[in-house]
Chains A and B, each alone.
Chain A
């Protein structure tokens, strides 16, 4: 069995190598990294389990940001040469685009954003991924090869770095058609400095907050709890009261603080998927039937405009 590994992020390549090595090891296979031109030290992939490292070069490659259209073609050509059974790709937004195009071109099976990859006996690959808005875990068996699989960063632990360096990086030219599209402009986006995924306490709010000026009430509570402020989708995406770095949810940021406080958030499953792994979950909502209460350890049925100030009083009076 041959497994191809590809990601534009070196650390993700190392993680995918750990998994590929585990799978290939059980059946005497080989693991080949198809390098990304931006990779700083492709020779280090040997230390993480690569049997071969191939750096592709292609005169037809567009300058500037890499086009997924062209990289899926490079991988398609690499597949023609190495005939892999499995192609493991890092699940970034870009990587998923590359993977899906590749699967379309190869007409093969493909599973994106896998949270688990394993061998079923000696024969087939089984993957798991989240479906139904984060409500369920789906277990899928590949019944044919090749299988294109993407795995997000930090899902697989890296192998300890081996001390013995493994080999020579190979350079190979792969044909790439001229791209029928071009990147005309890139702009750096203003990014808020908040790192919600690292916070110990997150105090979030949703549509229960009536005016932008009232955000102060939430940020005060977050500060009193030594936490950061988060929000639900409508606040960041529709109203744009807070930058996206505050958006907790399936398509926002996934958080797991010790305490998560949801103020005026109804608890759509996409939101729950972003905070489900929190330690203690607190919900404040005036609608007693809001789904957030089912996901909460502690809840107060009441108006956040009355409850939050009372919480502030309580936090101030105690020592």
Chain B
């Protein structure tokens, strides 16, 4: 595929490219400019990709498992290797009715009651990361050294992976989600490394089962039969990838917002009862996740002629800023009570980890705001945004002010 012009010269309506390094920094402007004149953008990149930009269109696609398959949900120059209805990372890449079986196995594990038990662990992880901030004002990268490290620690613990593997896991996340517009030869080695890692983990659990999620999957059955190794590996891959840079991005975006809007940070500190509503508003405005579908057969959908195999991008973050559904959509109003946001997707593929993500986001913010008395963007360094379908700051250089070293010991 020949690359075309990047940057400001691009016509996003006919050459949409969410892997453009400038996309995530400027996405709300791009969505706003397209919504009225071209609610369904298109590009010949990636073998053809459509991009709906209104809440109604995005919702229609998300609910339509007749025209669209989930067999791949990350747009890439590498064509999807998964085959419907299972796909390469079940259940996110699975279609009904198999999807229901594969998801059903995980639902009790990620249900609110199970997730709520994680709160003390998440809090301990967050507090630990802030424990060594020195008294006074100092530079601190709240993406690199805080937001990035929370979800990987939670997911590794959940899956029973060693603490020493955090950087390795973050490397996999980068290799599979952030370099999707590179040549297959650049992408493949990272994918192979992850496949080997997953195979090693499965072999180890099979030899010595534990009480972790990987062992649970190895003992699970569908229709009386154990899951295939490729199903187990695919699901672990899903949990590793989907639970890491997504929540990292949500935490980072929220802190970016607070650094630029200190009155909102103060409001969160003063009104603990308002925190759950504020968290939903942050999720609406800074929803990190865009998913994708693949067109099953040539068809006409909402008046557009789609070709089999083309990608259909699902920018839920754009749905959340549709003025037809949200008054003043580009304003963050922490007390926005009417908030039917779609940050965790819509339809049967609603983010399985949404309750865990919400918990991590709330606790990460509570801990940060409790520990850091004031913070601003560090004017000497640039904020850097992610590349690809997950949107959030990857570098968030702050100046943070802390009055005393953290109290240690039991409370």
Q: Do A and B come from one complex?
A: no
